Structure 1
């Protein structure tokens, strides 16, 4: 199965929102092929970025996006990649 869907999740106020984001990502864990989390460690930044590669029908991707975006201080966006034939 091709997995051309990338989701970027920007999280602000990580200390408050990380647990809720993690619960949602665990719920959709079977469709997450790759997960990369980035944040500043020197100052233990309160903002973070998560990059996901998703293997799922568009309906499930949209459900995940909607659940994440329902949280305050969280923004999820989807990028679909495809090669031109």
Structure 2
């Protein structure tokens, strides 16, 4: 199975409470993560994390699923290879 380059966006509400759970999931998938960027929202208790991953479709789906099942966390992915193969 091929590994594609994908972007995973994560919105974490109530960062102080949910950050440890998010970090646990990211550690689980650490070997697929190429880069990570985080931006706190200073006006609210939330933050956005953007990941660039190189993973199989199943690995990316599993990561997004694990993150999405956490309380206060929303996660979505976008695979760049798929977008290049199917232009809009």
Q: Given the two structures, how large is their TM-score scaled by the length of structure 2?
A: 0.84
Any gaps of 5 or more consecutive residues in structure 2? none
Checking the alignment, whether the CA contact within 8 Å between 1:8 and 1:77 is kept in structure 2 is: yes
| Partner Cα distance (1:21, 1:76) in 2 | 11
| Residue aligning to 1:56 | 55
Aligned counterpart, 1:81: 80
Gaps of 5+ in 1: none
For 1:2 and 1:67, locate their aligned partners in 2 and report how far apart those are by CA, in whole Å.
Answer: 19
Residues 28-51 of structure 1, C-alpha deviations (whole Å, 9 max, x = no match): 00000010011145x6x4100000
Moved over 4 A (4+): none
Q: Which residue of 1 aligns with 2:5?
A: 4
**Equivalent residue number for residue 27 of structure 1:** 28
Q: CA RMSD in A?
A: 2.0
Higher strand share: 2
| Structure with higher helix content | 2
8 A contact 2:38–2:48 mirrored in 1: yes
Inter-partner Cα distance in structure 2 for 1:84 and 1:59: 19
